[in-house]
Chain A
């Protein structure tokens, strides 16, 4: 300050010191840091100290502060003389940013005004202007005083600015719903925001400051927090995770997500505090639990619903199966009734046929017997032979009658007339009929009878029909074969069942015929009706047996059917 050295007058020096002291005491007045008050008091002090004609203080407005503009005029000047000077000053301030002194037109006298300007702070628009009609203005002392006044205002405003900032931050922290706190390095809480106090169930900061930060934590978590988390914060500077706090009044545990960090001294870089920002997870946990329970319930309901659906499905399936079963039953019944109707028709046909055939058979039998009797009366040898032949003929006509009768009974009513029959005799009789003429074509007939079974329970006439049919088929199959052998075999399958097999040495059955063998109207014979085997099977089945065919391993075909073994006394008693 070169101007100061020129102050040689003690009175002036004394006045200067007094003014400096006065200026330095100004901040004591600015308790509330009201910009208007600051500007006003600075302007008032400087206008008298500098003996200026006016002092103008302009402060730009902030977000929440209006712009301040204060003009104080000197004692010798009319109060409103400089009311219009501010725009001119501002314009000069912008134009001559580096010059602190300039001259402007005096709006009151049309003369010239000397103006000295000092910026306040570092912003462009805030400044203190002092103006005087004295052409020597400002002198060094006046510049010094103006500078100090501006400086005081600057400091005050900066402090106000800082305090406003701090106030904002503090408000932010205090209003925050998060738990915000910091502690010293020993772990003693230095600040806990209201949300934190409330969360922990504490009355106020005073209570909190007597505690250790570990007291805030659920007992079973303390060792972990101290050993692991505390260490991690100090070493790495930060730890983020979930911890459980303890409510000081209720003892309830509170889940909290915390960001725990170290605050270092910006100057020394050394750890200063640890701080934490935490969020109460209770609501979230509750929501999660609720969500989980909802999800669980949903899952349950999905399960139940799925179960119901599966059940319904099963039921439907059951119904389908049931329906299918009943459909099958209906089809079966239809088939049965169809079969019955057909059988009924066949039965009527058989009855009619039986009657129509019985009449000529009866007549033939009678005629044969009459002729035989007449011949027998004239007892010569030749006649006796003729009588014998006629007797045989009448036996056969009688047999034909029986066959017709049994067939009619069977077709019309499905009845069989079962007796205990000797298997060997029955087969031999059937063979005698079947083999008529067969010996002439060189067919060998063999019997292979199982010694364990000699009799069976069956309708002789019907089973003989089956045997004759099978044997005739076998003979016809072998017509073109070199080796012609027909085997009829019996075998006891179990104590209730006898199998009778007819085996030929023919070429065997083509597959397409074998598959449909027992269906009506399937025949390998040029003139065959294809009814023989279907009737045979029906007869065997009415005996409770089965008729099957299979290829003969030695060539040819095997037909086998089962009939019941002769009943024993025990079976009868059981009935």
Chain B
């Protein structure tokens, strides 16, 4: 059976939902959109195979809770969590809870479509060997100090607290942080967090 290029969109914001529908259209992807998590859950037993784009921040039931429900109801669709910017904590939780990826709003269309393609490629399969291997390889290039700083950032600690915990100056933390990002080849902290979480989940 050929892999259906289907995307399920769950977002309470009508404007965002509609714009996303249009973007998916323009990319030639089939989509189903749901206004509320409950509507998605109701439809879940008869869902077409594909990936799910979940907004993490929704009333009544947030993206993380919905993800937990999907696992509980044994709906094995890969989930892409859409987070608010800088909401690293939630992104990490989503990844740990089984989301294949997360993406920060507002996102570049190319980044989104690439993420969707990657998720669709995983439909019906478990594991993400190549990606995990790449993440592990990149994380391994970090020095131990940079690794410490990254771990602290994943734990949501501000630079000042990290500096205090490591017994170094804030300026040095900032420098380590900048070098760490350069080594990982990322521009956003969220990307670094994603790599670290994938590498750790795969390890």
Contact = CB atoms under 8 A, between A and B. Distances in A.
B203 interface: no
A457 B26 contact: no
Interface stretch (B44-52, B89-97, B134-142, B171-179): B171-179
Interface stretch (A232-240, A328-336, A415-423): A415-423
A572 B158 contact: no
B109 to A, nearest CB: 4
Contact of B175 (A359, A369, A398, A571): A571
Contacts, number: 112
Given A373-B27, A401-B106, A457-B178, A366 B22 contact: yes
Contacts of A25: none
A398 B182 CA distance: 22
B85 A359 contact: no
B189 A575 contact: no
Contact of B26 (A370, A402, A544): A370
Contact of B109 (A366, A414, A416, A571): A366
A362 interface: yes
Interface string B90-132: 0000000000000001111100000000000000000000000
A575 B172 contact: yes
A418 B106 CA distance: 21
Interface string B6-23: 000000010110111011
A358 B189 contact: no
Interface in A400-443: 401-402, 404-405, 408-409, 413-420
A575 B158 contact: no
A359 B14 CA distance: 10
Contact of B85 (A404, A572, A575): A404
- Taking residues whose C-beta sits less than 8 angstroms from the other chain, chain B's interface range is 35 or more
Nearest to B146: A572
Contacts of B16: 359, 362-363, 366
B181 interface: yes
A562 interface: no
B149 to A, nearest CB: 10
Given A355-B84, A362-B16, A370 B22 contact: yes
Given A419-B178, A457-B175, A575-B172, A401 B19 contact: no
A366 B86 CA distance: 20
B57 interface: yes
A247 B75 CA distance: 130
Nearest to A400: B106
Contacts of A355: 57, 84
B84 A567 contact: no
B23 A366 contact: yes
Contacts of B23: 366-367, 369-370, 373
B172 A420 contact: no
B4 interface: no
A401 B105 contact: yes
B181 A415 contact: no
Nearest to A373: B26
B106 A398 contact: yes
A560 to B, nearest CB: 21
A407 B189 CA distance: 15
A374 B24 CA distance: 11
Contacts of B173: 575
Given A363-B13, A366-B23, A370-B22, A572 B176 contact: yes
B159 interface: yes
B35 interface: no
Nearest to B173: A575
B145 interface: yes
A564 B169 CA distance: 14
B54 to A, nearest CB: 14
B178 A359 contact: no
A394 to B, nearest CB: 7
A575 B173 CA distance: 8
A361 B15 CA distance: 10
A361 B169 CA distance: 37
Interface in B158-175: 158-160, 168-169, 171-175
A575 B144 CA distance: 12
A567 B22 contact: no
Given A362-B19, A419-B181, A572-B179, A373 B174 contact: no
Interface in A533-575: 544, 564, 567, 571-572, 574-575
Contact of B168 (A359, A398, A575): A575
Contact of B158 (A415, A457, A571): A415
B106 A365 contact: yes
Nearest to B19: A366
A361 B85 CA distance: 12
B176 A575 contact: yes
Interface in B71-87: 84-86
B181 to A, nearest CB: 7
A362 B11 CA distance: 12
A397 interface: yes
Nearest to B172: A575
Given A370-B23, A372-B26, 8 more contacts: A355-B57, A363-B15, A377-B26, A413-B158, A414-B158, A419-B182, A572-B179, A575-B172
Interface of A: 354-355, 358-367, 369-374, 377, 394, 397-398, 401-402, 404-405, 408-409, 413-420, 457, 544, 564, 567, 571-572, 574-575
11 contacts: A354-B85, A365-B19, A370-B25, A397-B106, A408-B86, A414-B160, A416-B174, A417-B177, A417-B189, A419-B182, A564-B171
